[in-house]
Each structure stands twice: as C-alpha cells, then as structure tokens.
Structure 1
C-alpha cells in the first residue's frame, strides 16, 4: 500500500483528499447537492424552494496580518460563498487566542470583524472564543459563512461549459504579493523603491472576491477563487471539477508591475503563487460585453485569458509551447514567506 504523504504546509492535495476525506463524509444525505470536492469552494444544501450555500475557512494570524486580521477573516471566508453566486448572510466563528493576549488586542480584532460584517451585510450568529495554549498568534480556527439562493442561479467551479470564455479579475499572485510586501517592507523599499512597494502593499486589501463575484454572478456559469497554488492551480481545479478541458493563453494574462517585481525579487512564479482575490470566471461569449462592463463599473479590472474545451487541458506559453495544465504540488509563496521571518 502506498504511504500517505501530507504536504509540509498548506492544503491537502487532491490525492490525499480523495483517498481519506471524500469516501468518509458521515451520513449520506440527498439534500446535499454539492458535496465536498477538491477545488470546490462551498457546499450546497437543497431546502426546497431555496438552497443554502455554506463554506468554512481558517485564517492564520501571521504577525504581519494582525493589524487587519479581522478584515482578512471576514473577506476570506465570505468570498467562498460569494463565488457560488450567493450573497453571504450569516457567520459563526471560532476565534482562538494565545495566552498573554491583551484585552485591547482582542477587542480590536473583534471590532474589525464586526465592522466588516456590517459592511457586507453579514450577521454573526454564534461561535466560540477563548484563550488556549499551543498557538503563537490569534487564530481563526474555523469561520463558517452561509447564504441562500436559487439552485438555477448557482455558479460553482463545477459548472463551466464547453465554449465558455475564461476570465480573471485583477491578475495573479494578489495574496502572495500583498503579504510579502507587508512582511518584507523595509527590504522591498530598498530593492524596489517606496512607490512600487506601497502599490504592492495595497494589494493586501484586494484579497477578497466578494464584490467581484456578486457583480459577475448574473453573467457567469462558474466562478472560483484562485487560492493556494495560484492562478494555474485554480484554472485546473475549474476544469477538473467541471470534467472539461481548458485552454489558457499566457500572453493574455496581465501581471501588474508591482506583482512582477515582488515575485521576481523572491524568485517565485506569480502564476502558481497563492492568489486570494483573483476571481476565475467562465461565461458564454455573448455575456462578455455586459460582464466586462459591470466589472468595470465597479472598478474591477478583468481579462479574457482562455476558453473551456472538451477534454485537453493545456497552457499555451508566449512562445507557442503547449504545456499540460496540471495541479500545482507546492505553492512557492510559503518558502518565500518563511524566508522573511527573523530578518
């Protein structure tokens, strides 16, 4: 029997998920119409006239995130519901604090969570909060967000159709760039200049696709947030979940200058680096004009980068080379991030 190998850090890969998690999901219930699947952002429960979309995410209290930890918790968790075309409405949260946390530090985080939930129209209905050993920084041990919609209006990653055009918002490596620009601020100011570093740092607040997804939902077949493994991994996950092929054109992928600069400095590939905030959309060609217009009206940059095909999953490089699109095994962001600690 092949030994089960877990990643050193990050989400479990597809092989581990399908061997251990997927076959063991408790009671079988026919009301669960979108069940756990690798690369699918949320589950869906059929309630009759409506469906409930529910998702859960942790958020790690990296030191650099702490001034905006509450913001990150809400937007990262709410994004996974929004990508299915449903407005996030309710939340529970397990906020765990290390011994020695000061009361004002907890209050600051909680007020931020409250404020962002108010802005997005999310009610906090329960959870668990406490101080526990074994953690070094505040930790969102599990934030569950859910909302309600109509079954026929859902836009899960598994709903891409052959012939759909593939779009992305903002560009790749949004999360990797924003976090590294905050974590290595002094280092990057020296290497890249203050203006470019500030632009990169501001990408932290682009680590959300709530507005992107709620703007695009009426025109899309499928949507997906490009998280660990970055853009190329997210594109593979859409094709895999939809049982389709996909063709992606490197020359059409816009990489913002500050993203290119930070990724080059840390020697990581922006196309496979974590990118919470990049929304992948598949939509019929006739929907492109109103979709692009709606996104533009919200100040969200979007680019057509490929097409959903029958079977072949291919990434066409700028020089014309055709490469098979495969899952990303290791996200290079993590080594880059840990290299900045202690400097």
Structure 2
C-alpha cells in the first residue's frame, strides 16, 4: 500500500478483491481498482452506488469546504451517466466544531443537493473525541435509472475518441492556491486566476451533460493520480489502448503557473473536476457542443484502439510513448509541506 492516498492496484488485487462478501446475482458491476462506482439491479432499475470520505478544511471557510465535499460525494455516481438521486451522509465531527459551523456545512449540502435533484435519505451525525479535520466522515451517493443508460467504466471500444474536460491539475490551482494563498509567491493576478479554478472542481455537470448529449461509452474523473492516472485506469478497465496527443489537452488559466510554483507534474496531480471520457466517433461533435453550451471547456485529445502490448490489459501512449500509472500523487506531499509551513491544523 502507498504511504498516502488510495491503495495501489497490487494491494487492491491481493487484499481487497478476493474478499467481497456474498456473490449475488443482482450485482451488475462490482469493485475494480480505479473504477468509480458499482451497480446493482433492483426491480428492473439500475442503482448506482459510490462512496467517498468527507473532507472539510476549515481554512477554506466552511461554505467552500462543504461545497467541495458534497460535489466529491456525488461525482463518482455522476460519471455513470445516471443523475444522482439519493445521498447518505455520516459525520464524525471533531469536538471543537461549533453548531454554527456545522449549520453552514449542512445548509450547503442541502442547497447543492436540492439544486441537483438529490434527496438526502439517511446518515449519522456526532462529535467524537479523537476525530480531527479534515477527514470528518463519509458519504454514499446513489443514482437510480434505466440500466441501459448506465455508462460503464469498461465501455471504451476501438474507434472511439478520447475527450477531456478542463484539463489537468485543476485542483492544484483551485484548492492548493486557495488554501495556501499567503505562501504562494506568484503575481497577484495569477493567484486570483488560480483561485477561480476552485469552482471548476466538480465533474458532476460535465458527466451529466456529456451523457445526455451523445453516445458516451466510458467516463472517469481524474482524481488521485491525475489525468495520467485516469487514462491508465480507463484503459485498463476496457482492456484497450489509448493514444493521446498532449498538445490537444487544454490547460485552464492559472494551472501551469500553479504547478510550476509547487513543483508538481500536472499530469500526475489530483484534479477533481476533470472528466475523462470516450465517445463513439459519430457523437463527438454533439458532446463537445453540449459541453460548450454549458460553459465547460472540453477537447478531443486522442483515440481508442485494440490493445496489443502483450502486458496487462490496457495501455496508454502519450505522444507515442507508453506511460504508466503515477501510483503516488505529488499533491499529497505538497499539501503536507505547505500545511506545516503555514501552520494549518
């Protein structure tokens, strides 16, 4: 297992995958490393499930922190192409969190869930000794819909095109610069531009817009391991080869400068808000147009073909050279370094 961040594929395959409880026929899609959600069938409908920890960083302000937390909770269900419908939330709060601070968090969860048509149906809320920021609970999102509308993570096929929204390292600019603004030695205008990326850190609208617009065959959000990691995970899920042109990949304003300042490889850095997707070639224009109409930057960056490398199923070639999963996300080390530097608790 890696020291920080999600478990690697080897740990998952050895320690987790062999032990998944009862074998039930209603499970349409079970756990896989790097796959965002599972699916069960209930009464002829697909129920998509996805779980994530809840992280609240008080230094962001509780409204911003809660906005980010609820969108993280909903994003893995949204990449199924089925709009999230229900949410279960557990809070294990540190004793020092006040009623007023929690009120701000909960009101934000309610506002965002209402806007997205999501009902919060159950949960658990308590203060406990030993709990501390930022990890203060967990959430499970559900999306209920027609099984035929589920965009499976293993759906990429030869001939499909590879698209991406927003580009790499959105989270480096939006989250790290916002959080460590006083320690960031960049021009004020660049800092302000980078901080604007905070509100780009949700792929929920991206996924639902794309899925409604055209024949999307697979989707994956570029969280830990960044865009490079997401490409490898999507290729492995489908057992296909992805060829990507780096020059075609968009970078949002402020991202390159932020990555250079922190010394982070933008391709390997976590990028909540960035959506990777494959689309049947007949629907590329429709999907790109729909995303553009919603003000979501997107581009076609490559193509899908049969994987003939002879190694593990799935491969990614960036500008003709094969790349592997980064395994360790550089953002974690930077977060720890600057948290200590600014005295963030």
Shorter-normalised TM range: over 0.9
Match of 1:3 in 2: none
Match of 1:259 in 2: 255
Partners of 2:118 and 2:35 lie apart in 1 by 22
Partners of 1:309 and 1:339 lie apart in 2 by 41
Does residue 207 (structure 1) correspond to residue 201 (structure 2)? The answer is: yes
Partners of 1:46 and 1:140 lie apart in 2 by 31
SS in 1 for 2:174: helix
Q: Name which of 314, 317, 321 aligns with 1:315.
A: 317
Match of 1:79 in 2: 75
For 1:125-170, what per-residue CA distance to the aligned partner results, in whole angstroms no more than 9, with x for missing partners?
1100000122222534210110111222211221111111000001
Q: Name which of 318, 323, 326 aligns with 2:324.
A: 326
Partners of 1:80 and 1:291 lie apart in 2 by 20
Match of 2:239 in 1: 243
Q: Name which of 9, 12, 15 aligns with 2:10.
A: 15
Deviates more, 1:34-43 or 1:97-106: 97-106
Q: Name which of 29, 42, 50 aligns with 1:34.
A: 29
Alignment: residue pair count: 332
SS in 2 for 1:202: helix
Q: Name which of 138, 142, 160 aligns with 1:142.
A: 138
Does residue 25 (structure 1) correspond to residue 25 (structure 2)? The answer is: no
SS in 1 for 2:132: coil
What CA RMSD, in Å, does the superposition of the two structures yield over aligned residues? 1.4
Residue pair 2:229, 2:326 contacting (<8 A) in 1 also: yes
Match of 1:277 in 2: 273
Residue pair 2:232, 2:316 contacting (<8 A) in 1 also: no
SS in 1 for 2:72: helix
Q: How does 1:275-314 map to 2 (within 5 A)?
A: 275-311=271-307, 312=309, 313-314=315-316
Alpha-carbon distance change, 143 to 167 in structure 1, aligned in 2, over 3 angstroms:
same
Q: What TM-score does the superposition give when structure 2 sets the normalisation length? A: 0.93
SS in 1 for 2:31: coil
Alpha-carbon distance change, 298 to 72 in structure 1, aligned in 2, over 3 angstroms:
same
Q: What TM-score does the superposition give when structure 1 sets the normalisation length? A: 0.93
Match of 1:335 in 2: 333
Does residue 118 (structure 1) correspond to residue 120 (structure 2)? The answer is: no
Partners of 2:195 and 2:148 lie apart in 1 by 39
Does residue 171 (structure 1) correspond to residue 167 (structure 2)? The answer is: yes
Deviation at 1:48?
Answer: 4.2
Deviation at 1:60?
Answer: 2.0
Q: How does 1:58-69 map to 2 (within 5 A)?
A: 58-67=53-62, 68-69=64-65
Deviation at 1:337?
Answer: 1.3
Identify unmatched segments of 5+ residues in structure 2: 310-314
Deviation at 1:66?
Answer: 4.3
Residue pair 1:182, 1:201 contacting (<8 A) in 2 also: yes
Match of 2:312 in 1: none
Deviation at 1:121?
Answer: 1.1
Alpha-carbon distance change, 133 to 282 in structure 1, aligned in 2, over 3 angstroms:
same
